[in-house]
Amino acid sequence: MSSFYDDYRQDHEHDPAAEARAALADRFGDELLEGRTPRQDELAGRIYRELKAGAHVDDIKHLIGQLSRTATEDARNRGAERSGGSRR
């Protein structure tokens, strides 16, 4: 499977700075995918299904916002768990 980095590299093969940015974006994307929670998966699935059914981004902004808030909250909770406390 082709990664974002591979696609970007083909377009910017002779630009080392662009390659470095693309590699960083690719690693960051992988980290985000690895850290997803079931709540985030459910919301991402809803967004995907809505878009596949023909919704426009403006129609699902509320879901995108909810996914963003959920990801932030889940990351905060993971940080609290690692430090031994709870922030709920």
Over residues 26-72, the pLDDT tens digits come to 776 676 677 789 999 899 889 989 999 999 999 999 999 999 999 88
pTM beyond cutoff 0.85:
no
Which of 24-28, 72-76, 80-84 is predicted most confidently? 72-76
- Is residue 88 in some structural domain? no
Q: What is the C-alpha to C-alpha distance for residues 86 and 62, in angstroms, rounded to an integer?
A: 28
Same domain assignment for residues 43 and 59: yes
Q: What is the pLDDT of residue 20?
A: 79
- pLDDT confidence bin for 87, thresholds 50/70/90: very low
Same domain assignment for residues 53 and 73: yes
Same domain assignment for residues 79 and 46: yes
Q: Using DSSP, how many helices (H) and how many strands (E) does the chain show? A: 4, 0
- Is residue 11 in some structural domain? yes
The domain containing residue 18 runs over which residues?
Answer: 4-34
